[in-house]
Every structure is written in C-alpha cells, then in structure tokens.
Amino acid sequence: MRSTERALTRRAHTLAAPLRIVAISGSLRPNNLTRRALEIVLRGAGSEGAGTDLLDLAHMDVPFCDERKDESAYPADVKRLQDAVGTAHGIILGSPEYHGSLSGSLKNAIDHLSFAELEGKLVGLVAVAGGSQSATGTLAHMRTICRHLHAWVVPHQVSISRVKDAFTPEGHLKDPDHEARLLGLGKEVAHYAKLHFGI
C-alpha cells in the first residue's frame, strides 16, 4: 500500500480508536536500559488512560530500508512497526546515545516510516548515555527527524547520564527525580494527544 493510501486509512482509524501510545526502543542490547526507561514512560501514559505498546527493536526483524517497490517483501515486523505507529495517537522514541546521535537501529526503523505514520502525531523523546555527558545530541537529532516528518514533539524530554549507575540490578531507577521525569513525559504525550485528537 502506498504511503498516501496508508495515511488516509490510518488517519481514519486513529480518529475513531481509543487513546493509544506506542514506544520504540532503539537499543539492540539484551536487557537494555533504554527499554526500562520506556516502560516507565508508558506507565505515565497509562495513568492518563492510554492503551500502550512497546516495540523493542532488539526482538524484531527490521532490515535496512532499501526503498524496495514491493514493501510486502520485507519481514512481517516492518509492517507491524508501520501499523503500530500509524494507528497510534502518540509515539515515544527511546535511544542510547552513540557518538552524539541516535542508534542506527532506531534511525533505520524510522526510515521504514513516513508521513503516513507520523504526521500530526504527538512524540516524546528519551535518550540514555553511558558517560557523564547528557544525551542532548541524540535528543536534538530525534527532534529534527520528527519535525521533518511533521510530528508534534512535546517540549518535555528526558536524558539520563551514566545510565548503568542510574538503575539498580533489578532494573529500578535509583533517583526518584528520573522516574518522575519519565512518568511526566508519558503523561504529557498522552494529555496532548487527547487534546489534539479530541478524545
């Protein structure tokens, strides 16, 4: 299905559906902390009455986007990604910071999307960094990509530095402020999605 046809079909579905927020984890590491952070964000969205879904690229088959004419030739996870984002009211993007930018896996996943999936959607951004510097480069690059796709990126964003030290071995955040900011991001995306789509 061409992107313009997808856009019309998904726009109609989105307007008629209950509030739904989808997160995409851009880390391919097993048990990655990007996913842990996104789980907290989705809890915040859920507290606003949103249904939530988390797409973990570490467990999906999303090959390089090569602009093939027959999109059905891609693995089923590509359509799953397009359908999940295309029918959502809000999207949360999460990425580890690699050399000052987002992960290649997340950029590739976004390359499989288009205006049909992202235009007019509310987006929240999360980035985690291994070192002491905040992941502001990653957040800035994700914001630029979303702006190009005509998505509405909420002002609130979350960067977590020294991410391995930020979580306990059981996967819980040590700093209550980090958790509050992640929960707040989820609530903000869900809140503005409700207003934007008149839900």
What average pLDDT does the segment 181-194 reach?
A: 98
Give me the pLDDT at residue 3, please.
60
What average pLDDT does the segment 152-157 reach?
A: 97
80-95 pLDDT, tens digit each: 999 999 999 999 999 9
Give me the pLDDT at residue 99, please.
94
Cα 196 from Cα 71, distance rounded (Å): 31
What's the half-sphere exposure (Cβ side, CA atoms, 13 Å) at 48? 25
Q: How many domains does the structure of the chain reveal?
A: 1
37-66 pLDDT, tens digit each: 999 999 999 999 999 999 999 999 999 999
Pair 53, 117: CB distance under 8 Å? no
User: 157 lies in which domain range?
Assistant: 3-197
Give the number of other CB atoms < 10 A from CB of residue 14: 19
Average confidence score pLDDT of the chain: 92
Give the number of other CB atoms < 10 A from CB of residue 8: 11
H-only helix segments in 134-175: 136-148, 163-166
Kind and range of the H or E run holding 181: helix 176-197
pLDDT of 97 higher than 60: yes
The one-character DSSP state at 18 is P
Give me the pLDDT at residue 14, please.
61
- Name the token pair of 170: 């059981």
End-to-end CA distance of the chain: 28
pLDDT of 176 higher than 80: yes
We report the CATH number of the domain holding residue 76 as: 3.40.50.360
pLDDT of 153 higher than 70: yes
